[in-house]
Structure 1
Amino acid sequence: MEEKVKQKLVQYQQIEEQLKQFNNFFQELNEKSAEISGVIQALEDLKKTPTDKKILVPIASGIFIQGVLKDNKEAVLTVGEGVCARKTIDETKKLLNKRLMDVEAHKAEVARIIQQLGEVEIQLEEELEKYV
């Protein structure tokens, strides 16, 4: 019986660790989703901004330089290591919306796994309480 309790306790600890990892991953996906949504909104705002208007250009987290908007119709995207391509704002938004859909699909799958692990964790808790 003592061996059975040890096994269940080890199982419980493993499930707890997996839950922690999946919750962290879910949080990362939430942040990625918010980031993509923010970029889509920024592109929409940029499209409405008149050319030759002064804007702040981010060069690092929380660091900006002043610039002048010369083109509000296209964006330059990194498509590979050291390779960039010009896309219209609408094409760029379409790509970003696809990425957003992929992230949301991953979030749904991770949420499903978290729920399953949570159910197993509850079941193990109940089984372990019998031995207390």
Structure 2
Amino acid sequence: MVKNEDLKQEQLKEKFMQFQTLQQYIEQVEEHLALLNKQYADLENSKEALQEFSKTEKGLILAPIINGIFVKAELKDNQNLLINVGADTVVEKTVSQAVELLKERQKETLEKAGETQKLLQEFQQQAAQIYQEVEALE
């Protein structure tokens, strides 16, 4: 009888460790999902800012240098932008092309969020399964 009880305790410990590990994974995946949602919202804000920029009249503007610091500049063209595409390469795009680029990034972000959501559900199902197994052992 003692061996049976020891075996049961060992199984409970193992299930508890599995459950804790899954809980950590769930927290990490939830954090990643929150970051993807923030990224999507940031892209939406950027699209809106670009559309507003295209309506800005030519002339004197304040251009941000770093967060909270601006320089006076003259806006000569409100329809074309210079976009960093990586590897210190800059290309000229229209506002509508830039908005389309941001839409594509949003689409990619949504796809990643969907995959992440599926992973989260899998981990939650595994955790529920372990919980049921623990209940059966008790």
Out of 110-119 and 15-24, give the one that drifted further.
110-119
> Secondary structure of 2:76's partner?
coil
1:90-101 correspondence runs (5 A)? 90-101=96-107
2:32 matched to which residue of 1?
Answer: 25
How far is the alpha carbon of 1:62 from its aligned partner?
Answer: 3.4
**Rg bigger for which structure?**
2
CA RMSD of aligned residues (A): 1.7
- Identity, in percent, stands at 27
Q: Counterpart of 2:50?
A: 43
Could you say which residue in structure 1 is the equivalent of 2:88? 82
Q: 1:85 to 1:7 in 2, by over 3 A?
A: same
Give the TM-score normalised by the residue count of structure 2: 0.85
Residue matched to 1:2: 9
Shift of 1:130: 4.3
Return the alpha-carbon distance in structure 1 between the equivalents of residues 98 and 29 of structure 2: 30
Tell me how far apart the structure 2 counterparts of residues 41 and 72 of structure 1 sit (CA, whole Å).
Answer: 14
Distance in 1 (CA, whole Å) between partners of 2:74 and 2:135 is 66
Return 5+ residue gaps in structure 2 as ranges. 1-7
Report which stretch shifted further, 23-32 or 112-121. Answer: 112-121
Which residue of the other structure, out of 24, 34, 38, is the alignment partner of 2:41? 34
Displacement of 1:48 in angstroms is 1.2
C-alpha displacement of 1:64: 3.1
Once the 2 structures are TM-superposed, how far is the Cα of residue 73 of structure 1 from its aligned partner? 0.7
Deviations 1:36-59 (A, max 9, x none): 11111111001111111x433222
Which segments of structure 1 move beyond 4 Å, counting only runs of 4 or more?
none
Query: What is the rounded CA distance, in whole Å, between the counterparts of 2:66 and 2:94 in structure 1?
Result: 24
| 1:79 counterpart SS class | strand
Q: Distance in 2 between matches of 1:101 and 1:117?
A: 25
